[in-house]
Structure 1
Amino acid sequence: MSCGRLARGRGCRKGDAAFRVRLHAPASAGDRQRDPAAPADLHAAAYARTMGGQDIPIAAARARHPELPPAWCRSPRRLAGERRMSIPFSPDRFWRSLEEMARIGATPDGGVRRLALSAEDTEARALLRDWGLAAGCSVEVDRLGSMYLTYAGADPGAAPVAVGSHLDSVPTGGRYDGPYGVLLGLEILRALHEAGRRTRAPITVVNWTNEEGSRFSPSMSASGGAMGLIDEAKVLAAPDNFDPSITYGDALRQTGWAGDADPAMARNFAAYYEAHIEQGPILEREGIPIGIVTHCIGVEQWTLVFTGRDGHVGSPMAGRQDALAAASELVLALERIAIATGGMATATRLTLEPDARGNIPSVVRVAANIRHPDEDGNARMTAAFREDVAELAARRGVRVEIERAGGYPRVPFAPKLLDSLRRAAGAAQLRHRDMPGPIPQDALHVGIVVPSALMFIPCDGGVSHHPSESISREWCAAGLAAMGPAVIEAAGGLA
């Protein structure tokens, strides 16, 4: 049954009382998933149980049921036009693909361990390749191992529109961080293939290698290499963080995913879209299924080395130069500064010398990470923590060296592409809001070179990078309903 399917009486004019709408709401959550025209609104099933299939005038339908989404009461002419400009996507197939992918590298606690270029990642890549070939795509692999599944467009000279994310995970990962974006893109290609349609420009789905950076540092290294932001040779030479005798390049060769395509070809994308779970609680808390990410916020990574004087733990407290006590003050200062400025700051790693029960630590290295949604926020936070460090170093009699270890710039996304997501979300009657992206994704690297857009869907409790990471089928379908039409529009529409 089709939600919003219309029945017009013979000889009736638009606006007549006899101009009728057949209100065929889906009868269950399963029906909503099978019917791509159905709103992803969680309340739709309640309407279905009370309404059944009724033929009533459009005006009467709106008066009797003002709570109905307007998309359920469209005229036949408007509906026909929409059908010419769209294809049916399958939220059910999309969900099944996510579940099948999650079985690769599955852990007993419900999570996923699928490190980049591991045996599990190799299996996931092979499955994606096979799915792409079955959907009529060509498949290329570049020298950094990234995969490109391309569904040809009607204009062979047009630059492709890309949709991408990653299949690798952190060691204790969840089921949806990364695969959601890759398999959403795959569903767009499958829907085109199933409908026997093409867009004017090609559409390419990208699986970027090593987004997480758990096995090889830095994170997002393949997308950074493709965009010319990280030297390709440096990416290939990166050692395995768990077995330094193996490099990124070695792992590519061992797994058979060392391709010969030039990664720089990705710089020729006409546009790039990425869908991702939010990895935060805002969308779920506000009951909004779609987040339009206006920009990725800048990130600063710092290494601080506190040098004091070691000694016996039984020595008097007076006169100590305890490097760990000083570093602990910094950890709390970062938290205080972040809360005061509206930013985010974390001490992520501490190493001690000597690392012994009987010794006062004389050297402590601290890895710190700061980020702020405002353009000048990182500079303000950095100035504040430097001031705190100078004060506590003088007070405690320790020396502190501060070195910038890396980071990412603030990257705004393409307004035109963001507008396409807003229009598609609005057409699907999906609530949406603009928001910054506090966690870097591959879209950050791509967005420096290629017009790009990033979109979030909620995740339960904002939890990610954890086996309990989860999303609902409704959120999954909502993201497809918003991004699918936007990508087709960016690719020039249906040919």
Structure 2
Amino acid sequence: MSTTLNSCAGKAIGRFISKPKSFPSDGFPLRPGFHRSGFSVKLQPHRTFSSSRICQTRTSEMSKKDVASLKVSQERLVGDIHHTAQWGTGKSWGDGPTEKGLSRLSLTPSDASVRKWFISTTEALGCTTTVDEMGNIFTVRPGLNNDLPPVYAGSHLDSQPTGGRYDGILGVLAGVEMLRCLNEGWVETEGPVGVVNWTNEEGARFPISMLSSAVWSGTIPLSTAHSLRSVIPASDTATVKSSLESINFLGSTPCSYTATPMAAHFELHIEQGPHLVSSKRKIGIVKGVQSYKWFTITVTGRDCHTGTTSFEHRADALVAASRMIVQSHRSAAGKGALASTGIVKVEPGSTNTVPGTVRFSLDVRAAHDTVVDAVEQELKEDFAAIAAGEDVDGLAAGGVKGIPCEVEWQTDSISPAVDFHEDCIRCVEEASEGLFGTQNLEKLTMKMVSGAGHDSVETSKRVPTSMIFVPCRGGVSHHPAEYCAPEDCAVGAQVLLGSVVGYDRLRAEKVKEGSV
């Protein structure tokens, strides 16, 4: 016979619920700190569960309504966000104790501390942990068939130097909350599920973003990643490998999609843009990620004395570089693309010396690879003309033409546009529909393309992948004032939970059909 559990949503937290009658006579006790979230699910007659004796239902037995009734704890999730912010520093943006940003660079002591918390917290939930050669942490909750690869929720715990508390961090901690909810719901998944923390996603301390997920996908060789040097602070000589060793997170497992396989990867993230906020939508159903290229541009002129060298005898690298940066904005805007320069290095750096060398970064992005390529080609022609002293941009009007400079391009990173997997996108849609209802789905969700790169770009090269966006105040990110409202954090975590469980159910159907 079956048993039905009923509790009021949001009121069951912290309340003891008696052991169901279908438990064996030597019933397995709850772990300390476990609570029951509000849900109502039909429990099947007692039989053996492979992952834990406290499990009472399998995802394949749950209806969509049952899945939607598994509830995350907003209070607990937001508490984790602020609790883990103690490992790092941050600039205040308000008067409250949690109104601060976060600076937690990859592979620093503060990063090591939050990693240890992540491992101890998930292992207390019954998960097993694997750390690979890039310090990626894979924590896995067993399922019915553990020969299948896990379905992962993933993101990152590192931040920008003056970042906020939500970028990446929300995705990892929502994954932890997902594991808690599955335990509290006595749910056994058909295959294992897990959470992954990717190393150096931000590319702030070690200047390649999505670094470790790119090694995992095979995009970047391990040797290249291990030898990458820290750029913060500028005097730091540490490499990725030496930093992994110094914080004891250089794992022995190969960093590879074959060594730690995945069935799918779902990533919850703040949007980092204004579209959800301005449209009053709660969930962004991410279809893919736009293309981008990073370049280092070197402009070489000639150092000379400011007071003794007239304009016509100068090869001023900084004036030329400044015109190039302005022109990059014009070219990108004219083609529906985006461009920015975030790093400028001027040599020799003396007040009374005309700069002879300037290096600046250039980031070009667009929804399609062809648009990025078109901007690149146009700018190569424009930059060469500007270096030669031609007035291609109208900014030289009224000035004095000097000696020509030289310009060189170095391509640092190429990330083609990505289309996410239809199965994963559908799981996000169905989880959103289960939360909002069919009648509100279009009003409260938005299908969109991510403007920023994420670890999901790399995982999508090897496994089915999708992302879930939630609004952040003002669209602000990479800034101390980055903020996601508690209710939006919880809504995103709820959709993440539903998406992972939904994919596990879909996988079970495919296994039964023999297509997996």
Structure 1 range deviating more: 143-152 or 266-275: 266-275
8 Å contact kept, 1:350–1:364 = yes
The structure 1 residue matched to 2:303, chosen from 299, 310, 313, is 310
Q: 1:227 touches 1:267 (CA, 8 Å); kept in 2?
A: no
The SS at the match of 2:345 is strand
Amino acid paired to 2:243: A
| Number of the residue aligned with 2:504 | 491
User: What residue is the counterpart of 1:83 in the other structure?
Assistant: 66
CA gap 1:389/1:103 in 2 versus in 1, 3 angstroms: same
Cα distance in 1 for residues equivalent to 2:116 and 2:129: 11
Work out whether 1:421 is the aligned partner of 2:428. Answer: yes
Q: Give 3-state SS (helix, strand or coil) of 1:404's partner.
A: strand
2:461 aligned with 1:448: yes
Sort the Cα spacing of 1:424 and 1:120 in 2 relative to 1 into closer, same or farther, 3 A: same
Counterpart in 2 of 1:233? 223
Of residues 62, 75, 82, the one that matches 1:99 is 82
Measured in 2, the distance between the counterparts of 1:351 and 1:90 equals 47
User: 2:323 is matched with which residue: 318, 326, 329?
Assistant: 329
CA distance in 1, matches of 2:119, 2:360: 42
Instruction: Please give the secondary structure, in 1, of the residue aligned with 2:154.
Output: strand
Structure 1 CA distance for aligned equivalents of residues 372 and 486 of structure 2: 37
Superposed CA offset, 1:341-392 (max 9, x none) = 2211012222223321112222222221111113421012112212321322
How is 1:12-411 mapped onto 2 (pairs within 5 angstroms)?
82-83=65-66, 87-109=70-92, 110-241=100-231, 242=233, 243-264=235-256, 265=258, 268-314=261-307, 315-394=309-388, 395=390, 397-411=404-418
Contact kept in structure 1, 2:158 and 2:168, CA below 8 Å: yes
Distance 1:132 1:481 in 2: 18
Flag the structure with higher helix content: 1
- 2: distance between equivalents of 1:465 and 1:84? 34
Once the two structures are superposed, residues 104-141 of structure 1 have per-residue CA deviations (whole angstroms, 9 ceiling, x without a partner) of 21435211121112111111011111110121111111
- TM-score where L is the length of structure 2: 0.78
- 2-structure distance, mates of 1:259, 1:311: 52
**Counterparts of 1:467-482 in structure 2 under 5 Å?**
467-482=480-495
Question: Is there any run of 5+ residues in structure 2 with no aligned partner, and where?
Answer: 1-6, 12-36, 41-61, 93-99, 391-400, 509-516
Structure 1 residues 253 and 309, CA gap change in structure 2 (3 angstroms): closer
User: Deviation at 1:489?
Assistant: 1.3
Does the CA-based 8 Å contact 1:200-1:493 persist in structure 2? no
CA distance in 2: counterparts of 1:35 and 1:285, whole angstroms = 32
Q: Equivalent residue of 1:416, what SS?
A: helix
Cα displacement (A) at 1:85: 7.5
Deviation, 1:236, is: 1.8
Output the CA distance in 2 between the equivalents of 1:164 and 1:83: 24
Structure 1 residues 342 and 470: CA distance shift in structure 2, 3 A: same
**TM-score of the two chains, using structure 1 as the length reference:** 0.81
Stretch of structure 1 that moved more, 81-90 or 390-399: 81-90
SS of match in other structure, 2:299: strand
Code of the aligned partner of 2:383 = V
Provide Cα deviations, 1:171-218, integer angstroms capped at 9, x if missing partner.
212111111011111111111112222110100100111111222232
Deviation at 1:142, TM superposition (A): 1.1
* Maintained 8 Å contact 1:460/1:470: yes
Contact 2:39–2:66 (Cα < 8 Å) also in 1: no
Instruction: Tell me the SS of whatever aligns to 1:386.
Output: helix
Question: One-letter code of the match for 1:171?
Answer: P
Distance 2:432 2:64 in 1: 18
Shift of 1:333: 0.5
> 2:446 is matched by which residue type in structure 1?
R
Residues 133 and 250, structure 2, Cα contact 8 Å, conserved in 1: yes
> What amino acid is aligned across from residue 422 of structure 1 in structure 2?
E
Q: In the TM superposition, what is the alpha-carbon distance from 1:102 to its structure 2 partner? A: 1.8
User: Helix, strand or coil: the match of 2:379?
Assistant: helix
Match of residue 436 from structure 1: 449
Paired residues, number:
426
Counterpart residue identity of residue 482, structure 1: V
Give the secondary-structure state (helix, strand or coil) at the position aligned to 2:182: helix
User: 1:446 Cα shift?
Assistant: 1.0
Q: Tell me whether 156-165 or 358-367 shows the greater mean CA deviation.
A: 358-367
The CA RMSD measured in Å over matched residues stands at 2.4
Residue by residue over 1:232-281, the C-alpha shift from the partner in whole angstroms, topping out at 9 and shown as x without a partner, is 12222222223543222222222121222222246621111111111111
Cα drift, residue 422 of structure 1 = 1.1
In the aligned structure 1, how far is the partner of 2:38 from the partner of 2:197?
Answer: 28
Contact 1:199 1:493 in 2 (8 A): no
Q: Write the distance in 1 (CA, Å) between the matches of 2:67 and 2:217.
A: 36
Inter-partner Cα distance in structure 1 for 2:421 and 2:466: 6
Structure 1 gap ranges (5+): 6-33, 38-78
Aligned partners of 2:476, 2:39: CA distance in 1, in Å? 28
Looking at structure 2, the residues matched to 334 and 161 of structure 1 have their Cα atoms a distance apart, in angstroms, of: 41
- Between the aligned partners of 1:100 and 1:426, the Cα distance in structure 2 is 31
